[in-house]
C-alpha cells in the first residue's frame, strides 16, 4: 500500500480534474502542484497560465507567488494582467481555473474578502485578487482548500467571486461567460454540483473519511447520494512525480499522513 | 543627421519621495513578489508621509509596512496579503483598530481602471465583478462602479471609473536618464500605471545609456515621454524580487511575519530595518554585501 | 522536469486561404507599408473568394487589389490609399461603379474596436469621432457608434462596437509552429487583431523553433494560445516592407499606380502578377532572386 | 537673395510653427520635413511621434509611409496604434499635430473622406486615418496643403476631423481635449484663427502673392487685417538643412520656384 499525506491527496485530485490539452489558470500552492502534476502524467499538453503575465510556462522550480520569477523560466511569453485576466480569461480562452476559498455556500459562491461584518470585519482576507475574474470567466472552476465546517456556510459574510449565484440561469442572466464551479477538493472529500439545481453534492470521500463526518462538517444541507464512492488513492507513479515537483516540501510538507 | 538630445530626469530617492504630498493618490507598481517599490515605500515611511491613497492590483510586504507606519490607510486594491506566508500582519492589526478603509476590486478591474486612465477615457467596461458584493459594498467611493444596459447588446455591463492618480511609481530593471524603460519578465499592470498617472516616477535598478535604448526600440516597454523622474535604486524591491537580477529574501520575509505578530515587534522591525538605517544605502549596508550576492539571480534562470 | 510538447499548426498558404468562406469578415493586419498580408490577398484572388468584409486601420496596395478583383467590396476602415503615391486606383474605379461600401472610422477607433474584441467586451469608449460626420453617416452598420452621457462625469462619450471577426490575418517576422509570434518594429493593431478574432492565421516570414521562443519570452508579442494556423511565407508582404527583413519595391508600386489607371491595365496587372504566376512561389520566381536580394534589409537599419 | 521653391517655403513655415521641446505628431510628406527641420534648427528637443508606433524617432532617411521601417531606426520605442493615438494622443500628451486636407471650412473643420455626395461620391479620399484622432486631441493643429480655391469651402462635403466646429465653445461641449487648428500653411500664404470667433483669417502672404489673390482663392469671406505682412523667406541655413533632409527630392522636387 502506498503512503501519502492529505495534502498529496488533494494535489492528485486536482491533477485528475485537468484534461489533456486544456488551458489551466493556476494560483500558487496546491493548485499549481495539481496542474503541474497533470502535465507530467496524463495531460502533457495542458497549458498553464499565471495571472502575473507568464503564459504557457515550463518552470523548473516551484513558485511562492503567481508573479514569481521562477515562472518566467521557459515561458512562451511574459506579458501582464490585461493579457492573462483580460484577453485570455475574460476573452473566454481558459478551460479551467483553480481557486481557494475561506467560505463557500451551497451554490459554490466564494468569499475570500472579509470574515464578519463588512464595516467592522473580524478579519480582512486577501481579497479577490484575480479570483473574481477567474470565477467569472473560466470554463469551469476547481476549488481546493482544507476541510473546516466553518468554511461551508449557509450565507457568506461577503460574496467575492460568483459560483452558481442563486442557482440555474443566474450566471447567464448577468452575462458571465464562465461555467462556474464544477469541483471542490478538500483533504476529506470531493464535491461536485448537481447539473440541474447547481447545488453542491458529495462526490466521493477520501479513504478513512465517513460520509457522516462530511455531513457534520458542512453548515448547510449537503446533497448526498445513496452510494458515495471512496476517492481513488494516488498511485505510486503519481506520488513520485508529485514529490519530484516539490522536493523541498514547500507545499507538500503541510499535510497529515 | 538629427542631433540626439537627452534630457536628464534623474533625481535621488529622497528627492523623489519629497515630491509626494500628504494626501496624494498613488498608482503603485509591481505585482505580488515581483518588482514592488519597496525602497520607495521605506522612504515614504522615513519622510513620515500621511493620508496617502494607494491604487494597485496586488501588493504585499510593501503595502503592509506602509499600513503599519500609518503612511497609507486607504486602498483601492484587489489583493493584500503575503502570498504563501499568510495574511498581512500589520494590516490585520490596523483593521482591528478600525483605521483602514478599502475599496475592493478584482485584479482585472484594477488593471482596466489603469488602462482607462492611460487612454484618458472616463470608464472601462468589464464583464466581471457583476453578481459579487464588490459592486455594492463600498467604503471610499460614491462611484465605485456603474451597471448599464449595453446599448449594443442589451445585456448588463459593468463600467469601472478610470484611475489617473497624482503619482505613478514603478520599479524597472533598466531605464535611461530620459525615462525610457525596459521591463523584463512579467509586466503586471506597470505599463498602464505609468501611462495614466499625472506624475510618474521610475525606480530603475540600473541606468543605461540612451544609445542602448535606441539600439533596441522593441525592448522599450515605456517611452520616456510618460516619465517625469528616474531614480537609480539598486535592490529597490528588496526583500522581494526582480526578474533577471535578484531573488526574494525568504528568511527575511519569514522573520517579518514573525516579528509583526505584535505591534511591538513591528515597531522594532521598523526601527531596525527602515528608520535606523537612515536611507536606502544604509539598508543595503545592513543587509550586507554577502547576503545581497547570495540573492543575485543566475542569469540562465532569472532568479 | 516538464516535457515540452509542441503542437504543429503549420499549413500552406493555399490551405489557409481555403479556410476563408465567401462572406467571411476578416480583421486585416499590417499598417500602411508595414507587414500587410499581400501574399494572402493574392491567394484570396486566385481562389476567387467573394463578398468578404475587411476590418483594418489603414491598408493600401493589398486592399486595392482585393477591390479590383472584387473579392472584397465592404470595408470598415480608417484609411485607404497608397501613401505618398496617390489615391487607390482600383478603389476609385469600383467606387464610381457604385460597387464599394464603407463604414468610416478613425485609426484609433478601429484599434480600440479590436482591443474591445480582444477583451471580449461589447464596446469601447473613445473621446474622438464626436463632432464629425463619421458618427452619423453610415453605409454598412445600424450600430456604427452610440453616444451616451457618461454615468461618472455627465459628459458625452462615444461607444464603439467591438470587432470579433471570423478571421484575423497578420504577417510576422518570426513564429514557431505552435503560433508563438515575435514582431519587430511597429506593431500597428496586429496584437489586438489576433487576440480578438475567432480564427487566426499568422503568415510568418520565418519559422523558428519553440526553443528559440522560450529563450526570450519578453520578445513574444503574441502567445500561440491565440493562433490557429501558421503559414510560412517568405516575402509575404511584397511589394510592401517588413522591418528588419526587406524594403518596399517602389518601382513596382509606381508601375502598379500607372497600370491601374485603366480597368484594362488592372486586368493585365492581375493576370501577370497574381494569376499567371500560379502561386506565391511562382510570384517570387517572377520577381527574381536578384531583385529580392536588392530589397533585403541592411541589418543595421532594418530596411 | 536665396532661391527656394513653394514647397520649401511650406516646409519652412511648418518648421517655424514647432517650438523647442514640443511633442510633434507628424504625417509623412511635408509635415515630417517641417518637424525634422525644426529639430535640426531651432527645436533640437522636439520629440517626433509617428502613428504607426515609432516614438521619439531619430530617423536618418526620409519615409514614404507613417509605418515606414525607416522611422524605426534609433526610435526610442516601436509600439502600436493604441500607444500613439491612444495613450499619447487621446491621453493629451501631444503638443502639435500636422494634418493635410482636401477641404476646410472657415472654422478649420477638415474633409479628407469624400468629394461629392456621401452616398454616391465623386471621389473617395483616403479617409480619416489618424486625422480625426489628431484633430480631436492634439494641443494644436497645423494644416498644410497646396492652395486651391476649391479647398476653402463654405460647407464641407463631409466633416472628417473637427476644427473649431461651429465656433467658440463647441469643441469643449463635446469633450474634445485638443485646442483645434491654429495655423494653415499653403504654398501661397499662412492663415491663423481669430481667438474670439475661432474663424480663419489671413496671417501672411508669401513673397510675390497678393492679398487679393488669396481673397479670390478662398470660397468664403476671409477675415483680413489692415496690414497683412509678407511671410519671412527661408534662410540659407534653413534651406541647406532642409535639402539635406530630402537629398533625393522625394517631397521637395514637387514645388515651383
Q: Which residue among B1, B120, B223 places its CB closest to the CB of D56?
A: B223
For residue B2, name the pLDDT band (cuts at 50, 70, 90).
Answer: low
- Cβ–Cβ gap C121/B126 under 8 Å: yes
Whole-Å CA distances, A41 to A2, A62, C158 = 18, 17, 51
Burial pattern A205-235, b for ≥16 Cβ within 10 A else e, equals: bbeebebeebeebbbeebebeeebeebeebe
Tens of pLDDT, residue by residue over D188-216, are: 999 999 999 999 999 999 999 999 999 99
Q: Is the distance from CB of A126 to CB of A27 less than 8 angstroms?
A: no
* B119–D76 C-beta distance less than 8 A: no
Whether the Cβ atoms of residue D117 and residue D111 lie closer than 8 Å to each other: no
d(CA A59, CA A72): 7
Instruction: Answer for the pair C243, D71: CB distance below 8 angstroms, yes or no.
Output: no
Q: How far is B26 from chain D (nearest CA, A)?
A: 18
Is B103 found in the same domain as B62?
yes
Q: Residue A200 phi/psi, 5° resolution?
A: -70, 145
Q: Quick check: is B5 in a domain?
A: no
pLDDT above 90: percentage of residues in chain D: 86
Which domain does A247 fall in, by range? 6-254
Sign of the CA dihedral running B209, D40, C187, D175: positive
Domain end (from C133, C161, C189): C161
B-chain CB neighbours of A70 within 8 Å are: 301, 303
- Are both B224 and B110 inside the same structural domain? yes
Cell 476563408 sits at which residue? C20
C90 and C136 assigned to the same domain: no
DSSP string, chain D: -----HHHHHHHHHHHTPPTT-EEE--TTHHHHHHHHHHHTT-TT-EEE-TTSEES---SS--SSTT-GGGGTT-SEE-BHIIIIIIIIITT--SEEEE--SEE-TT--EE-SEEEETTEEEEE----TTHHHHHHHSSEEEEE----GGGB-SS-S---B-SSTTSTTHHHHTT--S--EEEEE-SSEEEEE-TTT--EEEEEE-TT--HHHHHHTSSS--B--SSPPBPPPPPHHHHHHHHHH-TT-TTGGGS--
Does residue B57 sit within a domain? yes
Domain count of chain D? 1
Q: What is the dihedral of CA B132, B135, B140, B145, to 10 degrees?
A: 150
Would you list the DSSP string of A105-170? Answer: -TT--EE-SEEE-SSSEEEE----TTHHHHHHHSSEEEEE----GGGB-SS-S---B-SSTTSTTH
Whether residue B253 sits in one domain with residue B180: yes
**pLDDT at A255 exceeding the cut of 80:** no
> What's the gap between Cα B68 and its chain centre?
17
Residue D256 has pLDDT above 80, yes or no: no
State the cell numbers at C59.
491598408
Cell reading at B187: 509586466
Q: What is the pLDDT, as a whole number, of residue C69?
A: 98
- Both C95 and C169 in one domain: the answer is yes
State how beta strands A47-49 and B25-28 pair: unpaired
Q: Tell whether B289 and B153 lie within a shared domain.
A: no
Strands D23-25 and D96-99, sheet pairing: parallel
Residue in the structure block whose three cell numbers are 478649420? D108
Residues in chain C: 303
β-sheet bridge partners, residue B185: none
pLDDT digits (tens, 9 = 90+) for A92-130: 999 999 999 999 999 999 999 999 999 899 999 999 999
Domain count for chain B: 2
Q: Is residue D89 part of a domain?
A: yes
- Residue B264: CB partners within 8 Å, gap ≥ 6? none
Asked whether the predicted pLDDT for residue A72 surpasses 80, the reply is yes
C127 close to D (CB below 8 A): yes
- Is A198 in contact with A186 (CB distance < 8 Å)? no
The 3-state secondary structure of C136-179 reads CCCCCCCCCCEEEECCCCCCEEEEEECCCCCEEEEEEEEECCCC
Residue B191 is assigned to a structural domain of this protein: yes
B94 DSSP assignment: H
Look up the CATH number of the domain holding residue A23. 3.40.1080.10
Name which of C1, C118, C225 is nearest A56 (Cβ-Cβ): C225
What gap in Å lies between CA D57 and CA D46, rounded to an integer?
Answer: 10
Please tell me whether residues C37 and C147 are part of one structural domain: no
Confidence of residue C3 (pLDDT cuts 50, 70, 90): low
* CA dist., res. B147 & res. B158, Å (int): 4
Residues B55 and B186 grouped into a single domain? yes
Strand, coil or helix: what is B14? helix
Measured CA to CA, the distance from residue A167 to residue A159 in angstroms comes to: 15
Active site residues of A: 51
pLDDT, tens only, C127-144: 999 999 999 999 999 999
Predicted confidence at residue A27, as pLDDT, reads: 80
Percentage with pLDDT > 90 across chain A: 86
Say whether the ipTM exceeds 0.85.
Answer: yes
pLDDT at C2: 52
pLDDT value for D2:
83
Could you check whether the bond before residue B56 is cis, i.e. omega within 30 degrees of 0?
Answer: no
Q: Tell me which chain B residues have a C-beta less than 8 angstroms from the C-beta of C185.
A: 217-218
Residue C11 lies inside a defined structural domain of this protein: no
pLDDT for residue A205 = 98
Q: In sequence order, what are the residues at sequence separation of 6 or more whose Cβ sits closer than 8 angstroms to the Cβ of residue D112?
A: D99, D100, D101, D102, D125, D126, D127, D128, D129, D131, D160, D161
Handedness of CA A69, B129, B117, D100 (dihedral sign): positive
> What residue has cell string 529574501?
B249
SS3 state at B281: helix
Tell which B residues from 7 to 36 touch D, by Cβ distance under 8 Å: 7
Q: Is residue B238 part of a domain?
A: yes
> Is C61 within a domain?
yes
* C148 neighbourhood in chain B, CB within 8 Å: 148, 151
Q: How far is residue B193's CA from residue B31's CA, in Å, rounded to a whole number?
A: 12
Residue A1 lies in a domain: no
Q: Is D105 part of any domain?
A: yes
- Cα–Cα distance, B107 to B78 (Å, whole number): 5
Q: What is the mean pLDDT of residues B6-13?
A: 93
Please give the grid coordinates belonging to residue B176: 535611461
Smallest CA–CA distance from A83 into chain C, residue: C119
How far apart CA C214 and CA C3 sit, in angstroms, is: 13
Residue D1 within a domain: no
Burial environment of residue A106 by CB neighbours within 10 A (0 to 12, 13 to 18, 19 or more) = buried
Largest CA distance in chain A: 52
Q: C134 touching D, CB under 8 A?
A: yes
User: Computed from CA positions of residues C229, C235, C238, C243, in that sequence, does the dihedral angle turn out positive or negative?
Assistant: positive
Q: A75 and C121: CB-CB below 8 Å? A: no
Range B148-152 contact pairs with CB under 8 angstroms and sequence separation of 24 or more = B148/C148, B148/C151, B150/C122, B150/C123, B151/C123, B151/C146, B151/C148, B151/C159, B152/C122, B152/C123, B152/C143, B152/C146, B152/C159, B152/C161
Q: Which residues contact B233 (CB under 8 A, 6 or more apart)?
A: B13, B39, B40, B171, B203, B204, B205, B280
What tens digit of pLDDT does each residue of C174-224 get? 999 999 999 999 999 999 999 999 999 999 999 999 999 999 999 999 999
| Residue D115 forms contact with C (CB below 8 Å) | no
Summary mean pLDDT of chain A: 95
Is the backbone of residue C154 left (phi > 0), alpha (psi -120 to 50) or beta? Answer: left
Which of C130, C179, C251, C138 lies closest to C16, judged by CA? C179
pLDDT band at C1 (very low <50, low <70, confident <90, very high): very low
| CB contact at 8 A, C74 and D44 | no
In a domain, A205, yes or no: yes
DSSP H or E stretch at residue C254: helix C250-259
Give me C101's grid cell. Answer: 461600401
Pair (C157, C204) in one structural domain? no
Q: pLDDT digits over C245-292, tens only?
A: 999 999 999 999 999 999 999 999 999 999 999 999 999 999 999 999
pLDDT in tens, B193-244: 999 999 999 999 999 999 999 999 999 999 999 999 999 999 999 999 999 9
CATH number at residue C180: 3.40.1080.10
Mean pLDDT for chain D overall? 95
E strand or H helix that includes residue A187: none
Distance, CA of B234 to CA of A222 (rounded, Å): 55
Give residue B4's pLDDT. 56
More confident position, D250 or D137: D137
Instruction: Judge if C150 and C270 occupy the same domain.
Output: no
Q: What is the DSSP letter of A18?
A: P
Quick one: C280 and C233 in the same domain?
yes
Cell of B301: 534562470
Residue D32 has pLDDT above 50, yes or no: yes
Looking at the domain assignment, is residue D205 inside a domain? yes
Q: Note whether residue C10 is domain-resident.
A: no
pLDDT category of residue B155 using cuts at 50, 70 and 90 = very high
Nearest residue of D to residue C76, measured between CA atoms? D127
- When CB atoms are compared, the residue of C100, C137, C187 closest to D118 is C137
* DSSP state at residue C82: B
Residue D28: pLDDT over 80: no
Tell whether C132 is within 8 A of chain D (Cβ): yes
- Given pLDDT bands bounded at 50, 70 and 90, which one contains residue B1? very low
Distance, in angstroms, between B107 CA and closest chain D CA?
Answer: 21
Range of the domain at B132: 123-161
A242 to chain C: closest CA residue: C1
Can you tell me the mean pLDDT for A60-82?
A: 94
Same domain, C32 and C129: no
Tell me the average pLDDT of chain C: 97
Amino acid at each position: 500500500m502506498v503512503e501519502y499525506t492529505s495534502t498529496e491527496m488533494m494535489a492528485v485530485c486536482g491533477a485528475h480534474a485537468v484534461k489533456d490539452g486544456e488551458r489551466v489558470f493556476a494560483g500558487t500552492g496546491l493548485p499549481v502542484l495539481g496542474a503541474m502534476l497533470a502535465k507530467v502524467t496524463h495531460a502533457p499538453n495542458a497549458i498553464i497560465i499565471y495571472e502575473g503575465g507568464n503564459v504557457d510556462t515550463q518552470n523548473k522550480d516551484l513558485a511562492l507567488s503567481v508573479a514569481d520569477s521562477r515562472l518566467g523560466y521557459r515561458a512562451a511569453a511574459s506579458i501582464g494582467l490585461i493579457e492573462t485576466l483580460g484577453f485570455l480569461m475574460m476573452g473566454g480562452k481558459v478551460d479551467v481555473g483553480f481557486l481557494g476559498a475561506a467560505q463557500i455556500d451551497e451554490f459554490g459562491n466564494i468569499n475570500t474578502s472579509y470574515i464578519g461584518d463588512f464595516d467592522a470585519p473580524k478579519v480582512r482576507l486577501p481579497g479577490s485578487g484575480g479570483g473574481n475574474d477567474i470565477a467569472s470567466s473560466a470554463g469551469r472552476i476547481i476549488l481546493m482548500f482544507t476541510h473546516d465546517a466553518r468554511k461551508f456556510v449557509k450565507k457568506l459574510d461577503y460574496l467575492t467571486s460568483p459560483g452558481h449565484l442563486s442557482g440555474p440561469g443566474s450566471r447567464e442572466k448577468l452575462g458571465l461567460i464562465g461555467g462556474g464551479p464544477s469541483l471542490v477538493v478538500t483533504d476529506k472529500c470531493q464535491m461536485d454540483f448537481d447539473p440541474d439545481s447547481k447545488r453542491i453534492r458529495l462526490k466521493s470521500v477520501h479513504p478513512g473519511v465517513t460520509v457522516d463526518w462530511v455531513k457534520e462538517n458542512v453548515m448547510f444541507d449537503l446533497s448526498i447520494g445513496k452510494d458515495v464512492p471512496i476517492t481513488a488513492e494516488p498511485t505510486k507513479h503519481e506520488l513520485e512525480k508529485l514529490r519530484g515537483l516539490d522536493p523541498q516540501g514547500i507545499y507538500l510538507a503541510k499535510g497529515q499522513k | 543627421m538629427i542631433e540626439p538630445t537627452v534630457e536628464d530626469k534623474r533625481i535621488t530617492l529622497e528627492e523623489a519621495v519629497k515630491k509626494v504630498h500628504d494626501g496624494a493618490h498613488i498608482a503603485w507598481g509591481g505585482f505580488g513578489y515581483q518588482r514592488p517599490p519597496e525602497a520607495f515605500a521605506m522612504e515614504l515611511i522615513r519622510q513620515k508621509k500621511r493620508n496617502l491613497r494607494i491604487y494597485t492590483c496586488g501588493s504585499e510586504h510593501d503595502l503592509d509596512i506602509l499600513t503599519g507606519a500609518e503612511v497609507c490607510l486607504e486602498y483601492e486594491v484587489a489583493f493584500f496579503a503575503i502570498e504563501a506566508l499568510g495574511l498581512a500582519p500589520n494590516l490585520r492589526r490596523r483593521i482591528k483598530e478600525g483605521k483602514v478603509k478599502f475599496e475592493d476590486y478584482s485584479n482585472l478591474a484594477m488593471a482596466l481602471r489603469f488602462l482607462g486612465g492611460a487612454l484618458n477615457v472616463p470608464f472601462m467596461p468589464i464583464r466581471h465583478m457583476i453578481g459579487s458584493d464588490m459592486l455594492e459594498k463600498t467604503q471610499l467611493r460614491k462611484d465605485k462602479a456603474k451597471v448599464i444596459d449595453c446599448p449594443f447588446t442589451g445585456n448588463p455591463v459593468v463600467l469601472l471609473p478610470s484611475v489617473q492618480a497624482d503619482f505613478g511609481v514603478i520599479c524597472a530593471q533598466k531605464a535611461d536618464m530620459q525615462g525610457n524603460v525596459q521591463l523584463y519578465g512579467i509586466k503586471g499592470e506597470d505599463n498602464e500605471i505609468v501611462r495614466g498617472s499625472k506624475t510618474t516616477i521610475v525606480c530603475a535598478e540600473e541606468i543605461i545609456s540612451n544609445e542602448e535604448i535606441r539600439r533596441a526600440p522593441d525592448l522599450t516597454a515605456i517611452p520616456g515621454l510618460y516619465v517625469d523622474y528616474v531614480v537609480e535604486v539598486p535592490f529597490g524591491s528588496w526583500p522581494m524580487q526582480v526578474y533577471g537580477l535578484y531573488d526574494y529574501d525568504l528568511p527575511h520575509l519569514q522573520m517579518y511575519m514573525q516579528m509583526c505578530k505584535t505591534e511591538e515587534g513591528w515597531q522594532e522591525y521598523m526601527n531596525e530595518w527602515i528608520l535606523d538605517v537612515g536611507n536606502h544605502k544604509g539598508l543595503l549596508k545592513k543587509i550586507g554585501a554577502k547576503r545581497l550576492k547570495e540573492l543575485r539571480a543566475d542569469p540562465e534562470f532569472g532568479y
